[in-house]
């Protein structure tokens, strides 16, 4: 059985106020070409189909066209789950009807321990579709107050699944989660920190022949060959400039993994970081490139409208950093970069300490963690 594994489409995404719809349509068209060439038996989309709960209508149209084409024109079953960016309640619309067309879209914990079973010449492959969940969702679903962390939530789901697994068959898990040991980028939204950490231990998944993950934007294995993030279909921030985006093609034989291949995805416009002097850029050879560019200027003095000038040669220059400017000491730059990596909670704590001149105590920290958590849940549930 040949499985195409992709994730983190983030349709409706804005990068520096720019809609990525055209770039997303382009790269989804590349995936379509790959599907026609490779003829996988099933397509997995491991969450974050949309970038937000109420995506713009262009994103709705693109997802509709893409899924309709996969199901009807290409005739291949699709297994998809919601990620932390998707609204489970909104994406649930029509899912009963979609199932009869072989589009399996799992949006809630309820029912996620029942697999979708496909057959190949070796027998049954059971796919378990686990949407992104908050610990509170699992606590409610399993009526177990001891579930506090993301790890415990996944453990509860997997305990239920493993009780029904048949060792003769093969099992694939589809999840949207943060596995300990995975490499973050800046563009993944922080998961809730209730219960301490957002991490799930990779050892939980030892019973599965393949684990198809979404959430982290860089394609990667986590500790084992068969536990993988497909990565996003596009670079969604300059922190991903060095990523090589791909979809993962997994072939199962009778006993498990036979082969894993990564098929690179070429974007319509790349997202790159360039460093140099203004004059060099204006006279440079790659002028006119349509790529999205973050420019680090080495010039030290004042410059007149550098962005305006750069945009004449790089029409899609999106951001500018004056790394050589005397006003920007290296310390300031490093400080800003560090801030960008902080969680909402740490940022608030730092703000609090700045304003109050003293440390935030544990009670306050817990309280604020809950507030942030409930705000993020509200945003997600819109």
User: Which residue ranges make up the site for a second copy (CB under 8 A)?
Assistant: 54, 57, 60-61, 63-64, 68, 71-72, 87, 89-90, 92-98, 100-101, 103, 381-382
User: Smaller CB distance to a second copy: residue 79 or 213?
Assistant: 79
Least separation in angstroms between residue 113's CB and a second copy is: 21
Cα distance between residue 246 and residue 234, in whole Å: 9
User: Smaller CB distance to a second copy: residue 90 or 224?
Assistant: 90
User: Smaller CB distance to a second copy: residue 101 or 162?
Assistant: 101
Least separation in angstroms between residue 164's CB and a second copy is: 25
* Burial bucket for residue 364 (CB in 10 Å: 0-12, 13-18, 19+): middle
Least separation in angstroms between residue 43's CB and a second copy is: 15
User: Smaller CB distance to a second copy: residue 53 or 193?
Assistant: 53
DSSP E strands in 215-256: the ranges are 220-222, 224-229, 246-252
Cα distance between residue 162 and residue 113, in whole Å: 9
Cα distance between residue 75 and residue 41, in whole Å: 9
What residues contact residue 240 under an 8 Å CB cut-off, 6+ apart? Answer: 185, 186, 187, 217, 218, 232, 271
User: Smaller CB distance to a second copy: residue 136 or 273?
Assistant: 136
Least separation in angstroms between residue 262's CB and a second copy is: 30
Cα distance between residue 39 and residue 28, in whole Å: 16
Phi first, then psi: what are they for 369, rounded to 5°?
Answer: -60, -40
Least separation in angstroms between residue 340's CB and a second copy is: 31
User: Smaller CB distance to a second copy: residue 104 or 178?
Assistant: 104
DSSP labels for 188-220?
Answer: SPPPP-TTS--EE-GGGGTT-SEEEEES-SS-E
Least separation in angstroms between residue 22's CB and a second copy is: 17
């Amino acid at each position: 059985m040949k499985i195409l594994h992709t994730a983190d489409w983030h349709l409706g995404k804005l990068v520096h106020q720019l809609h990525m719809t055209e770039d997303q349509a382009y790269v989804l068209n590349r995936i379509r070409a790959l599907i026609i060439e490779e003829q996988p038996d099933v397509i997995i989309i491991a969450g974050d189909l949309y970038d937000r709960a109420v995506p713009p209508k262009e994103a709705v149209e693109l997802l509709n066209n893409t899924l309709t084409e996969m199901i009807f024109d290409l005739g291949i079953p699709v297994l998809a789950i919601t990620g932390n960016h998707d609204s489970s309640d909104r994406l649930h619309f029509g899912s009963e009807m979609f199932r009869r067309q072989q589009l399996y879209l799992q949006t809630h914990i309820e029912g996620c321990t029942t697999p979708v079973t496909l057959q190949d010449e070796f027998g049954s492959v059971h796919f378990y579709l686990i949407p992104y969940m908050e610990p509170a969702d699992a606590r409610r679903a399993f009526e177990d107050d001891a579930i506090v962390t993301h790890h415990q939530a996944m453990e509860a789901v997997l305990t239920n699944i493993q009780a029904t697994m048949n060792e003769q068959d093969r099992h694939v898990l589809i999840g949207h989660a943060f596995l300990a040991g995975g490499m973050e980028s800046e563009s993944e939204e922080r998961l809730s920190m209730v219960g301490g950490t957002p991490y799930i231990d990779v050892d939980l998944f030892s019973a599965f022949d393949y684990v198809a993950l979404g959430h982290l934007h860089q394609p990667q294995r986590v500790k084992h060959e068969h536990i993988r993030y497909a990565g996003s279909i596009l670079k969604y921030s300059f922190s991903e400039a060095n990523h090589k985006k791909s979809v993962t093609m997994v072939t199962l034989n009778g006993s498990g993994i036979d082969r894993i291949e990564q098929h690179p995805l070429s974007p319509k416009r790349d997202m790159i970081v360039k460093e140099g002097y203004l004059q060099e850029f204006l006279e440079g050879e790659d002028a006119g490139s349509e790529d999205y560019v973050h420019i680090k200027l080495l010039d030290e003095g004042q410059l007149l409208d550098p962005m305006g000038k750069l945009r004449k040669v790089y029409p899609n220059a999106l951001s500018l950093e004056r790394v050589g400017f005397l006003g920007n000491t290296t310390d300031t730059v490093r400080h800003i970069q560090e801030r960008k990596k902080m969680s909402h909670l740490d940022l608030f704590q730092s703000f609090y300490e700045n304003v109050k001149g003293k440390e935030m105590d544990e009670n306050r920290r817990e309280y604020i963690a809950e507030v942030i958590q409930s705000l993020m849940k509200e945003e997600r549930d819109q």
